Amino acid sequence: MIKFLTDEWIKALCQELNRSEAYAQAAKNWEGDFYFIVEPEGPVKEPVIFYVDLWHGKCREAKLVADEGEKQPAFRMRARLFIMHIQYIHWEAIILIYITTCCAI
């Protein structure tokens, strides 16, 4: 199992996007790059920053970055990782919904 909030996890998400025909169709005319910033809360002691570059239905790059100044993405999404009943609300679902919504616009 891939550990959440790691470079391996965001790269796996990129691979899943690239395998998805539904995503490819929904995002075929959309382009943009993002920072998804997970703010410290609970066991997350420091911000975790994921960079994702989406281009016409494909994920061109996805990685964990150490500093917000590393890239200058077009969009930033910043939120805390909520803890509910000792389980995390699944950020992967939040990120996928956000990506899908942006591409549908």
pLDDT tens digit sequence for 18-51: 999 999 999 999 899 999 998 888 788 899 999 9
pLDDT of residue 4 exceeding 80: yes
Q: Give which of 6, 78, 4, 5 is closest to 35, Cα–Cα.
A: 78
Q: Give me the domains of the chain, ranges plus CATH numbers.
A: 7-104 (3.30.1050.10)
Phi-psi region of 89 (alpha: psi -120 to 50; beta: other; left: phi over 0): beta
Q: What six digits make up the tokens of 81?
A: 């990782």
pTM of the predicted model, to two decimals? 0.76
Work out the pLDDT band at 91, boundaries 50, 70, 90.
Answer: low
